[in-house]
Amino acid sequence: MKKLKFWGRHSSLVLLLSVAGLVVDQIAKFWAVAHFSGGGIPTIPVGPFLDLVLVWNKGVSYGFFQQTTELGRWGLAAFTVVASVFIWFWSARASNRLEGFCLGLVLSGALSNGFDRLYYGQVVDYLYFHVGEFSWYVFNLADAWIVIGAAGLLLDTLFIGKNKDSRP
Protein backbone atom coordinates (compact mmCIF):
# COMPACT_ATOMS: atom_id res chain seq x y z
CA MET A 1 0.00 0.00 0.00
CA LYS A 2 1.31 3.46 -0.90
CA LYS A 3 1.76 6.01 1.83
CA LEU A 4 -0.42 9.14 1.60
CA LYS A 5 1.60 12.21 0.68
CA PHE A 6 0.61 15.56 2.15
CA TRP A 7 3.01 17.69 0.06
CA GLY A 8 4.22 17.06 -3.47
CA ARG A 9 6.10 18.61 -6.35
CA HIS A 10 3.20 20.86 -7.40
CA SER A 11 1.71 21.58 -3.96
CA SER A 12 3.05 25.16 -3.90
CA LEU A 13 1.24 25.89 -7.16
CA VAL A 14 -1.97 24.30 -5.86
CA LEU A 15 -1.76 26.26 -2.61
CA LEU A 16 -1.09 29.56 -4.41
CA LEU A 17 -3.94 29.06 -6.89
CA SER A 18 -6.42 27.86 -4.30
CA VAL A 19 -5.75 30.85 -2.03
CA ALA A 20 -5.72 33.36 -4.92
CA GLY A 21 -8.94 31.97 -6.42
CA LEU A 22 -10.61 31.96 -3.00
CA VAL A 23 -9.61 35.58 -2.32
CA VAL A 24 -10.69 36.88 -5.75
CA ASP A 25 -14.07 35.14 -5.55
CA GLN A 26 -14.68 36.23 -1.95
CA ILE A 27 -13.91 39.87 -2.82
CA ALA A 28 -16.41 39.70 -5.69
CA LYS A 29 -19.01 38.07 -3.43
CA PHE A 30 -18.45 40.63 -0.68
CA TRP A 31 -18.97 43.39 -3.25
CA ALA A 32 -22.13 41.74 -4.63
CA VAL A 33 -23.67 41.28 -1.18
CA ALA A 34 -22.77 44.84 -0.11
CA HIS A 35 -23.97 46.39 -3.38
CA PHE A 36 -27.18 44.47 -4.01
CA SER A 37 -28.45 43.86 -0.46
CA GLY A 38 -29.50 47.48 -0.03
CA GLY A 39 -32.40 47.08 -2.45
CA GLY A 40 -30.88 49.40 -5.03
CA ILE A 41 -30.33 48.49 -8.67
CA PRO A 42 -31.32 44.81 -9.13
CA THR A 43 -28.89 44.18 -11.99
CA ILE A 44 -25.84 45.81 -13.53
CA PRO A 45 -25.23 45.13 -17.23
CA VAL A 46 -21.53 44.46 -17.87
CA GLY A 47 -21.93 43.79 -21.58
CA PRO A 48 -24.48 42.46 -24.03
CA PHE A 49 -24.19 38.92 -22.59
CA LEU A 50 -23.32 39.40 -18.92
CA ASP A 51 -25.03 41.06 -15.95
CA LEU A 52 -24.06 41.31 -12.29
CA VAL A 53 -26.88 40.24 -9.96
CA LEU A 54 -27.28 38.72 -6.51
CA VAL A 55 -28.77 35.24 -6.13
CA TRP A 56 -28.60 33.11 -2.99
CA ASN A 57 -28.00 29.46 -3.86
CA LYS A 58 -28.74 26.76 -1.27
CA GLY A 59 -27.55 23.99 -3.59
CA VAL A 60 -24.31 23.18 -5.36
CA SER A 61 -23.00 24.52 -8.67
CA TYR A 62 -25.69 26.02 -10.87
CA GLY A 63 -28.39 25.44 -8.25
CA PHE A 64 -28.41 21.64 -8.32
CA PHE A 65 -29.40 19.72 -5.15
CA GLN A 66 -31.13 22.59 -3.34
CA GLN A 67 -31.00 22.17 0.45
CA THR A 68 -33.68 23.89 2.52
CA THR A 69 -32.83 22.47 5.95
CA GLU A 70 -29.94 22.97 8.34
CA LEU A 71 -29.11 19.28 7.97
CA GLY A 72 -28.78 19.76 4.20
CA ARG A 73 -26.65 22.87 4.67
CA TRP A 74 -24.24 21.13 7.06
CA GLY A 75 -24.27 17.99 4.93
CA LEU A 76 -23.07 19.99 1.93
CA ALA A 77 -20.51 21.77 4.12
CA ALA A 78 -19.19 18.40 5.35
CA PHE A 79 -19.06 17.11 1.77
CA THR A 80 -17.05 20.20 0.80
CA VAL A 81 -14.52 19.53 3.56
CA VAL A 82 -14.14 15.88 2.56
CA ALA A 83 -13.85 16.78 -1.14
CA SER A 84 -11.27 19.49 -0.38
CA VAL A 85 -9.12 17.07 1.63
CA PHE A 86 -9.36 14.52 -1.18
CA ILE A 87 -8.37 17.15 -3.76
CA TRP A 88 -5.40 18.24 -1.61
CA PHE A 89 -4.06 14.69 -1.29
CA TRP A 90 -4.63 14.15 -5.02
CA SER A 91 -2.68 17.34 -5.73
CA ALA A 92 0.26 16.06 -3.67
CA ARG A 93 0.55 13.26 -6.24
CA ALA A 94 0.02 15.48 -9.31
CA SER A 95 2.30 14.28 -12.09
CA ASN A 96 2.55 17.53 -14.05
CA ARG A 97 2.02 21.26 -13.73
CA LEU A 98 -1.28 21.24 -15.67
CA GLU A 99 -2.75 18.70 -13.27
CA GLY A 100 -1.59 20.79 -10.30
CA PHE A 101 -2.98 23.97 -11.89
CA CYS A 102 -6.37 22.37 -12.52
CA LEU A 103 -6.55 20.88 -9.03
CA GLY A 104 -5.73 24.33 -7.60
CA LEU A 105 -8.67 25.80 -9.51
CA VAL A 106 -11.06 23.08 -8.35
CA LEU A 107 -9.87 23.43 -4.76
CA SER A 108 -10.25 27.22 -4.80
CA GLY A 109 -13.83 26.90 -6.04
CA ALA A 110 -14.71 24.26 -3.47
CA LEU A 111 -13.19 26.29 -0.63
CA SER A 112 -14.86 29.55 -1.66
CA ASN A 113 -18.33 28.05 -2.02
CA GLY A 114 -17.76 26.07 1.18
CA PHE A 115 -16.88 29.28 3.02
CA ASP A 116 -20.14 30.84 1.81
CA ARG A 117 -22.11 27.83 3.01
CA LEU A 118 -20.55 28.10 6.47
CA TYR A 119 -20.75 31.91 6.74
CA TYR A 120 -24.04 32.72 4.98
CA GLY A 121 -25.77 29.34 5.04
CA GLN A 122 -25.91 29.47 1.24
CA VAL A 123 -23.70 30.35 -1.71
CA VAL A 124 -23.49 33.83 -3.22
CA ASP A 125 -23.95 33.79 -7.02
CA TYR A 126 -23.54 36.99 -9.01
CA LEU A 127 -22.71 36.35 -12.70
CA TYR A 128 -25.67 36.07 -15.08
CA PHE A 129 -24.84 35.01 -18.64
CA HIS A 130 -27.47 35.35 -21.38
CA VAL A 131 -27.66 35.56 -25.17
CA GLY A 132 -30.90 36.79 -26.69
CA GLU A 133 -33.66 34.53 -25.35
CA PHE A 134 -31.13 32.01 -24.04
CA SER A 135 -30.51 32.37 -20.33
CA TRP A 136 -27.79 30.52 -18.41
CA TYR A 137 -27.72 29.92 -14.68
CA VAL A 138 -26.49 32.58 -12.29
CA PHE A 139 -23.09 31.44 -11.05
CA ASN A 140 -19.91 32.77 -9.46
CA LEU A 141 -16.19 32.65 -10.14
CA ALA A 142 -15.81 29.66 -7.81
CA ASP A 143 -18.19 27.69 -10.05
CA ALA A 144 -16.16 28.78 -13.08
CA TRP A 145 -12.89 27.71 -11.38
CA ILE A 146 -14.39 24.25 -10.70
CA VAL A 147 -15.64 23.81 -14.28
CA ILE A 148 -12.39 25.06 -15.86
CA GLY A 149 -10.31 22.90 -13.53
CA ALA A 150 -12.43 19.80 -14.18
CA ALA A 151 -12.25 20.36 -17.95
CA GLY A 152 -8.47 20.75 -17.71
CA LEU A 153 -8.20 17.52 -15.70
CA LEU A 154 -10.22 15.73 -18.36
CA LEU A 155 -7.95 17.09 -21.11
CA ASP A 156 -4.88 16.11 -19.12
CA THR A 157 -6.23 12.60 -18.57
CA LEU A 158 -7.25 12.03 -22.19
CA PHE A 159 -4.51 13.78 -24.15
CA ILE A 160 -1.63 15.21 -22.14
CA GLY A 161 -0.88 13.08 -19.06
CA LYS A 162 2.15 10.85 -18.68
CA ASN A 163 0.34 7.71 -19.85
CA LYS A 164 -1.27 9.16 -22.98
CA ASP A 165 0.72 6.94 -25.35
CA SER A 166 -0.50 3.76 -23.68
CA ARG A 167 -4.19 4.60 -24.15
CA PRO A 168 -6.19 2.97 -26.97
Q: Give Cβ neighbours of residue 101 (< 8 Å, ≥ 6 apart).
A: 10, 13, 17, 149, 152
Domain residue ranges in the chain: 11-161
Catalytic residue among 25, 51, 116, 125: 125
Asked if 25 is an active-site residue, the reply is: no
- Rounded to the nearest integer, the mean pLDDT of the chain is 86
| pLDDT classification of 32: cutoffs 50, 70, 90 | very high
Query: Angle at the Cα of 59 (from 14 to 118), degrees rounded to 5?
Result: 60
Instruction: Tell me: pLDDT of 167 over 50.
Output: no
* Amino acid identity for residue 83 in this structure: A
Distance CA 63, CA 125 (A): 10
Question: Which residue would you say has higher pLDDT here, 75 or 100?
Answer: 100
Q: How many residues appear in the chain?
A: 168
Looking at residue 8, what is its pLDDT? 78
Question: Which residue in 136, 129, 137, 143 sits closest to 28, CA to CA?
Answer: 143
Q: Are 32 and 149 in contact (CB under 8 A)?
A: no
| pLDDT classification of 34: cutoffs 50, 70, 90 | very high
Looking at residue 59, what is its pLDDT? 73
Q: How big is the chain by its Cα radius of gyration, in Å?
A: 18
Catalytic residue among 25, 116, 143, 156: 143
Question: Which residue in 31, 12, 24 sits closest to 144, CA to CA?
Answer: 24
Lowest mean pLDDT among 18-27, 45-54, 63-72, 133-142: 63-72
Distance CA 26, CA 91 (A): 23
Asked if 143 is an active-site residue, the reply is: yes
Predicted structure pTM score: 0.84
